[in-house]
Amino acid sequence: MISLQGIFPPLPTAFDSRQALSTDKMQENIRYLSRYDLTGFLVLGSNGELVNLTYQEKCRVYQKCREAIPGDKLMLAGTGHQSTYETIQACQDAARAGADAVLVLNPSYYKGLMDRKALTQHYWAVADASPVPLIIYNMPANSGLDMDADTICELSTHENVIGLKDSGGNMVKMGTIIDRVQGDFQVLAGSAGFLLPGLSLGARGGILALANIAPGLCLDIYRYFMDGHLEAARKEQLNAIPLNTSVTRQWGVPALKEAMDHLGLYGGPPRRPLLPVDSEVQSTLHRLISELDIHL
Amino acid sequence: MISLQGIFPPLPTAFDSRQALSTDKMQENIRYLSRYDLTGFLVLGSNGELVNLTYQEKCRVYQKCREAIPGDKLMLAGTGHQSTYETIQACQDAARAGADAVLVLNPSYYKGLMDRKALTQHYWAVADASPVPLIIYNMPANSGLDMDADTICELSTHENVIGLKDSGGNMVKMGTIIDRVQGDFQVLAGSAGFLLPGLSLGARGGILALANIAPGLCLDIYRYFMDGHLEAARKEQLNAIPLNTSVTRQWGVPALKEAMDHLGLYGGPPRRPLLPVDSEVQSTLHRLISELDIHL
Amino acid sequence: MISLQGIFPPLPTAFDSRQALSTDKMQENIRYLSRYDLTGFLVLGSNGELVNLTYQEKCRVYQKCREAIPGDKLMLAGTGHQSTYETIQACQDAARAGADAVLVLNPSYYKGLMDRKALTQHYWAVADASPVPLIIYNMPANSGLDMDADTICELSTHENVIGLKDSGGNMVKMGTIIDRVQGDFQVLAGSAGFLLPGLSLGARGGILALANIAPGLCLDIYRYFMDGHLEAARKEQLNAIPLNTSVTRQWGVPALKEAMDHLGLYGGPPRRPLLPVDSEVQSTLHRLISELDIHL
Amino acid sequence: MISLQGIFPPLPTAFDSRQALSTDKMQENIRYLSRYDLTGFLVLGSNGELVNLTYQEKCRVYQKCREAIPGDKLMLAGTGHQSTYETIQACQDAARAGADAVLVLNPSYYKGLMDRKALTQHYWAVADASPVPLIIYNMPANSGLDMDADTICELSTHENVIGLKDSGGNMVKMGTIIDRVQGDFQVLAGSAGFLLPGLSLGARGGILALANIAPGLCLDIYRYFMDGHLEAARKEQLNAIPLNTSVTRQWGVPALKEAMDHLGLYGGPPRRPLLPVDSEVQSTLHRLISELDIHL
């Protein structure tokens, strides 16, 4: 049984100035971030622009990132596609490349038809076929579909389904799920904005965009909480919110990449249709980074 | 400066079998619940069916509840109306009846026009005119309008605006507000479903439908947290979620009233268009109450 | 059986510079607009700021408007409140004042509980008690609740329910309703933005904010369509859209009032929390009016 | 300049009982439907399960369908992907296969970042690179993003952007666009549910799921309208709504396929996660088909 306890950055996918995939730059980022006490890395989540890569590119990312991720750190691989068929294919290719687990976003294009039955059958088939454990990925702000607690709890009974990354931030739902599932189903916060509230309910940690640029701060919130220093955890949690909001809900992946560039990692341009942030957003990001006194 | 620290039940408004207001029954409920270590009571919140009363009935509720609420417990009074004019009038009538503070839901009928400027001018005028301190009430599930952090933070600078009841449950927003406002602006959780996550971010307590039927459980979560017993708090928080969901988001005021009847308080019928719960919901409620071993 | 065939303006409620109700100004507007071939007037719809008046003020508006509305024109009166009780009271007071029919907005505060059963029982009770025929009013942009076709069709079977004003603009729903109800249930478009599409499906006319400032244009669309001059109707419909959008979805009642002032009717200020439009919006409105060459 | 005047069915993509792509079955359907006076066919729209195919399968569908579509009928090809890069690639592959125009759904995964600037740059780059004319595809129910009139009007100025398929059904927006764009920008209704309302505003026709199973009915609405027989058009439009709703918004692609099977075309199973309709839905579909007396 894989333990997901702790903090994971969801790695952005690197593109060069001509929009071509650059796995070299991703490997450099991984090596740099591996000096922190992170549990592992997620490749090809929403921050990894999963949807902006061709299938061949995705396979290359799985392989090249695994080469760079140390053996004592987990590689989680985003493999969700709209069809059950292509999702299974991606799970198998990610496993072949050395992923420790797959993170599967729900299909959502036919929203009106994605009821509990359709979602359950989809995930069940994928979990059956995946050579490595499956983590459910709920990301309503992007997918436009918010998986409900009943569906998630039903899926948690599959032996190959080991956890949930919830990026919706609905704490009542997170509490409902933790209350109802068996003890070894592991819930992870999907954003640093609600890491501490999530931990207070029993989340095991988080997959946090902010951990790409402020791994120390994210680890501090986590450790202070685990050690019972709640007031210190609370202080760091509140500190983390403004920068986190700016690289997630507000300006997203392009802002995260700008912040990485500013801090000496490789951010680079997002792939279109995503556009780089403008200079005003740049200034705000630099100010927020400066206020937190972040140095990698 | 009034301290809102602790737990408040939002009292349901009692109607007899012919839909007539019964302040006697409300007084009985208040007397019973006053034996608990609650900080005070909210009258005419969403659970108090504010919108289902005539203006004259509202004034009677303010007066009769104040008669029954002990002097050492606060009476918060819901006074929000769609117009600034009628909201001010209600604040003055509630203050005259002895309310310690008013809880003001935002106007929302003209959603598209309720931008930051309109809301700020509305609340500013109400806060200027209210003889008692004002608490902002954000309740997007009912009003259809979710007040943003910027607006709330701006309003917090008015000297007569002392706090916020947030029933939206967005922990990132709650954290953002607590991070940005001055230290004496008091945030309260608007539902027991996210009491502990809210406390973990610095909320002072909550105005909780569940506190009408499980005041002990709500107080336990609060006290365990305040005393640093986080694991005990977490356990009670998870325990509280199923019943809380059933009397709030799922089946609402009619379910809360049914639960009160079942526990020996007066619930009675909701006022139409709200309908009493059916027998299947009744059974579920009784089971949930029984599982929590609640006795008043 | 009352015929709703034709065009109705939903009269704005007039306030003086100190926010006090001015029924004199409303009467002047009515007299002026009565020179057009309008079927009647709606008082206290969304454009009439129903929600911004006290109950006493509403009764005065019913009475004073009826005095001014010619006997050969219908007075429809908005009477929807959140409670069944107060809605019935308003229907009776409006009828007593001489309303020919009442326009009843659905209750919406407890959105999650306003299922088909609750809404049907509410409207059934109101229709039973109303001394004059009832028109259902669906206005999802304001109420936050979109009544479905099934509910509306069920309500249409009550003998005192004669029609629907649909402001949602969903033409598939409008077509579904017209297809399923009996032939004498009368559907009215709730905005000039979709008057012609509505007529093409069988709507009888419309209750149109634009008819307060461009009654001639609205009547032209209607008449051209009725006379089979579809291309002329289409041309006028497209012409009407920009100004209509500006006084409805975009800037709402305050813009409608500004346009009325500009054209020589009494607009005056909206009641707070609604704010007057700024000078930039004023200029846009004046330009749009000028482009349409409107003179009253 | 290609004329889009008339009716197009959006062909479902055929899968065999083992979920494998069957272009043979698609060719048979095309041959059968080509006997009707349809302007052409759309391949790989939402009804074509674009998102459920691998990239290689998409290319095969373009080629094989083009082989079967008569030279005097247009082939429109759905080519929208999340990235600008893959969208351009698909436009080029579709053109190479013989598509007359491409239908490009907007990227929507990063909803919060898909503002007017990002969407305009995306479409501009695609229109620059596409060897054949581009039709914008707005499908908010599936994409979760509703492109606004301003963006669409700006895009209409690109010489290679010739039209819009709007499946949102917002007639005010459709009218706004038709009013503002140059006369040769062609708007098509995206559902038979609002074909007649769309035509009344100046739409040139429609791309209609219903045209796969009731091409005669769709053509009747269109022709009656074009010939000025508005009452006959209205009657057929109302008749079309129930079956159309059942194979679109209500039960979607699986229901459309069931109806095709029932009528002697090849429907077959949808690809997972889409599930075949259950027997109750089957019965409803058969009844609706029988009521309309449809025979192919």
ipTM field: 0.97
What class is the A6-228 domain? alpha beta
The stretches of B69-162 forming alpha helices (DSSP H) are 84-96, 116-129, 140-143, 149-155
User: Which residues does chain D have within 8 Å of residue C239's beta carbon, measured at their own beta carbons?
Assistant: 179
Neighbours of B275 (CB within 10 A): 15
Q: Which two tokens stand for residue D266?
A: 């090849």
Mean pLDDT along residues B215-221: 98
Nearest CB to B122: which of C110, C122, C272? C272
Q: Give Cα D238 distance to the centre of its chain.
A: 21
Question: What is the reported pLDDT for C223?
Answer: 98
Q: How far is C30 from chain B (nearest CA, A)?
A: 24
Question: What is the reported pLDDT for A46?
Answer: 98
**Nearest to D4, CA basis, from D73, D99, D61, D69:** D73
Mean pLDDT along residues D173-197: 96
Question: What is the reported pLDDT for D21?
Answer: 98
pTM over 0.90: yes
Q: Cβ-count burial of A11 within 10 angstroms (0-12 exposed, 13-18 middle, 19+ buried)?
A: buried
Of A165, A173, A235, A257, the active-site residue reads A165
Which chain D residue shows the shortest CA-CA distance from A106?
A: D273
Amino acid, res. B107: P
Report, in this order, helix, strand and coil percent for chain C, each rounded to 5: 50, 15, 35
Average pLDDT along chain C: 98
Question: What is the reported pLDDT for B296?
Answer: 85
Q: Give Cα D39 distance to the centre of its chain.
A: 13
Q: Which two tokens stand for residue A178?
A: 């933790």
Contact state of A172 with B249 under an 8 Å Cβ cutoff: yes
List pLDDT tens digits, range D63-108.
Answer: 999 999 999 999 999 999 999 999 999 999 999 999 999 999 999 9
Question: What is the reported pLDDT for D182?
Answer: 75
Sheet architecture: strand order including D134-138: D6-8, D205-207, D186-189, D161-166, D134-138, D101-105, D74-78, D40-43, D10-11
Q: Cβ-count burial of D20 within 10 angstroms (0-12 exposed, 13-18 middle, 19+ buried)?
A: exposed
Question: What is the reported pLDDT for D244?
Answer: 98
Contact state of D175 with C194 under an 8 Å Cβ cutoff: yes
Average pLDDT along chain B: 98
pLDDT of C296 > 90? The answer is no
Average pLDDT along chain D: 98
**Nearest to C258, CA basis, from C282, C234, C236, C235:** C282
Q: Taking each helix axis as running N to C, give the angle between helix C84-96 and helix C55-68, from 0 to 180 degrees, rounded to the nearest 10.
A: 30
Q: DSSP labels for A214-242?
A: -HHHHHHHHHHHHTT-HHHHHHHHHHHHH
Nearest CB to A54: which of D55, D111, D113? D55
Residue C40, strand partner residues: C74
The size of the C-D interface in CB pairs under 8 A is: 91
Contact state of D237 with C201 under an 8 Å Cβ cutoff: yes
CB D79 within 8 A of CB D103: yes
Secondary structure (3-state) at A170: strand
* C-alpha to C-alpha distance for D250 and D243, rounded to whole angstroms: 10
Mean pLDDT along residues D212-227: 98
Assign 3-class secondary structure to chain D.
Answer: CCCCCEEECEECCCECCCCCECHHHHHHHHHHHCCCCCCEEEECCCCCCHHHCCHHHHHHHHHHHHHHCCCCCEEEEECCCCCHHHHHHHHHHHHHCCCCEEEEECCCCCHHHCCHHHHHHHHHHHHHHCCCCEEEEECHHHHCCCCCHHHHHHHCCCCCEEEEEECCCEHHHHHHHHHHCCCCCEEEECCHHHHHHHHHHCCCEEECHHHHCCHHHHHHHHHHHHCCCHHHHHHHHHHHHHHHHHHHHHCHHHHHHHHHHHHCCCCCCCCCCCCCCCHHHHHHHHHHHHHHCCCC
List pLDDT tens digits, range B3-50.
Answer: 999 999 999 999 999 999 999 999 999 999 999 999 999 999 999 999
> Which residues neighbour A20 within 8 Å (Cβ) at sequence distance 6 or greater?
none
Q: The dihedral of CA A43, A44, A46, A49: what is its sign?
A: positive
* C-alpha to C-alpha distance for A239 and A261, rounded to whole angstroms: 21
Residue A165 appears among annotated catalytic residues: yes
Please state whether at least 3 CB pairs lie below 8 Å between chains B and C: yes
List pLDDT tens digits, range D45-61.
Answer: 999 999 999 999 999 99
Question: Which band of pLDDT confidence, cut at 50, 70 and 90, is reported for residue B183?
Answer: confident
Question: What is the reported pLDDT for C238?
Answer: 98
Contact state of C274 with B86 under an 8 Å Cβ cutoff: no
* C-alpha to C-alpha distance for B242 and B244, rounded to whole angstroms: 5
Of C165, C173, C235, C257, the active-site residue reads C165
* C-alpha to C-alpha distance for B209 and B195, rounded to whole angstroms: 12
Amino acid, res. B104: V
Of D25, D58, D64, D165, the active-site residue reads D165
Question: Which band of pLDDT confidence, cut at 50, 70 and 90, is reported for residue B1?
Answer: confident
> Which residues neighbour A193 within 8 Å (Cβ) at sequence distance 6 or greater?
A169, A240, A241, A244, A245, A248, A249, B171, B172, B175
Task: Tally the residues of chain C.
Answer: 296
User: Which residues does chain A have within 8 Å of residue D128's beta carbon, measured at their own beta carbons?
Assistant: none
The pLDDT > 70 percentage for chain D reads: 100
Question: What is the reported pLDDT for A182?
Answer: 76
Question: What is the reported pLDDT for D296?
Answer: 85
CB C8 within 8 A of CB C74: yes
Q: How far is A193 from chain B (nearest CA, A)?
A: 5
Question: Which band of pLDDT confidence, cut at 50, 70 and 90, is reported for residue D1?
Answer: confident
Q: Which residue has the tokens 């008013």?
A: B102
Residues of A with CB under 8 A from a CB of B: 169-172, 175-176, 178-179, 191, 193-194, 196-202, 228, 230, 233-234, 237-239, 241-242, 245, 249
List pLDDT tens digits, range C40-59.
Answer: 999 999 999 999 999 999 99
Contact state of B170 with A169 under an 8 Å Cβ cutoff: yes
CB D10 within 8 A of CB D40: no
Question: Which band of pLDDT confidence, cut at 50, 70 and 90, is reported for residue D183?
Answer: confident
Question: Which band of pLDDT confidence, cut at 50, 70 and 90, is reported for residue B182?
Answer: confident
The CA-based diameter of chain B, rounded to the nearest angstrom, is 49
Question: What is the reported pLDDT for C149?
Answer: 98
* C-alpha to C-alpha distance for A7 and D36, rounded to whole angstroms: 60
* C-alpha to C-alpha distance for D205 and D164, rounded to whole angstroms: 11
pLDDT of D109 > 80? The answer is yes
Question: What is the reported pLDDT for A169?
Answer: 96
Which chain A residue shows the shortest CA-CA distance from D117?
A: A275
Contact state of B83 with C273 under an 8 Å Cβ cutoff: yes
List pLDDT tens digits, range C206-249.
Answer: 999 999 999 999 999 999 999 999 999 999 999 999 999 999 99
List pLDDT tens digits, range B38-87.
Answer: 999 999 999 999 999 999 999 999 999 999 999 999 999 999 999 999 99
User: Which residues does chain A have within 8 Å of residue B171's beta carbon, measured at their own beta carbons?
Assistant: 169, 171, 193-194, 197
User: Which residues does chain A have within 8 Å of residue B238's beta carbon, measured at their own beta carbons?
Assistant: 175, 178-179, 201-202
Question: Which band of pLDDT confidence, cut at 50, 70 and 90, is reported for residue B241?
Answer: very high
Secondary structure (3-state) at C285: helix
Contact state of A141 with D112 under an 8 Å Cβ cutoff: yes
pLDDT of C191 > 90? The answer is yes
* C-alpha to C-alpha distance for C129 and C123, rounded to whole angstroms: 10
* C-alpha to C-alpha distance for A55 and A62, rounded to whole angstroms: 11
Secondary structure (3-state) at B80: coil
The pLDDT > 90 percentage for chain D reads: 98
Neighbours of A24 (CB within 10 A): 13
Contact state of D234 with C171 under an 8 Å Cβ cutoff: no
User: Which residues does chain B have within 8 Å of residue C85's beta carbon, measured at their own beta carbons?
Assistant: 19, 52, 54, 271-272
**Subunits that touch chain A (at least 3 Cβ pairs < 8 angstroms)?**
B, D
Q: What does each of the 296 residues of chain A score in pLDDT, given as a tens digit?
A: 899 999 999 999 999 999 999 999 999 999 999 999 999 999 999 999 999 999 999 999 999 999 999 999 999 999 999 999 999 999 999 999 999 999 999 999 999 999 999 999 999 999 999 999 999 999 999 999 999 999 999 999 999 999 999 999 999 999 999 999 977 999 999 999 999 999 999 999 999 999 999 999 999 999 999 999 999 999 999 999 999 999 999 999 999 999 999 999 999 999 999 999 999 999 999 999 999 999 98
List pLDDT tens digits, range C103-150.
Answer: 999 999 999 999 999 999 999 999 999 999 999 999 999 999 999 999
**Nearest to D45, CA basis, from D147, D190, D154:** D190
List pLDDT tens digits, range C72-97.
Answer: 999 999 999 999 999 999 999 999 99
Contact state of D274 with A141 under an 8 Å Cβ cutoff: no
Contact state of A175 with B237 under an 8 Å Cβ cutoff: yes
Which of D50, D85, D120 has the highest number of chain A CBs within 10 A, making it the mutation to test binding with A?
D85
Contact state of B179 with A230 under an 8 Å Cβ cutoff: no
Average pLDDT along chain A: 98
CB A283 within 8 A of CB A79: no
Q: How far is B238 from chain A (nearest CA, A)?
A: 6
Question: What is the reported pLDDT for D50?
Answer: 98
Q: Which two tokens stand for residue B92?
A: 């003055």
Mean pLDDT along residues D180-193: 94
Question: What is the reported pLDDT for A1?
Answer: 83
Residue A6, strand partner residues: A205
* C-alpha to C-alpha distance for C223 and C211, rounded to whole angstroms: 14
Q: Which two tokens stand for residue D148?
A: 């606004």
> Which residues neighbour A202 within 8 Å (Cβ) at sequence distance 6 or greater?
A175, A178, A187, B234, B238
pLDDT of B196 > 80? The answer is yes
Neighbours of B85 (CB within 10 A): 22
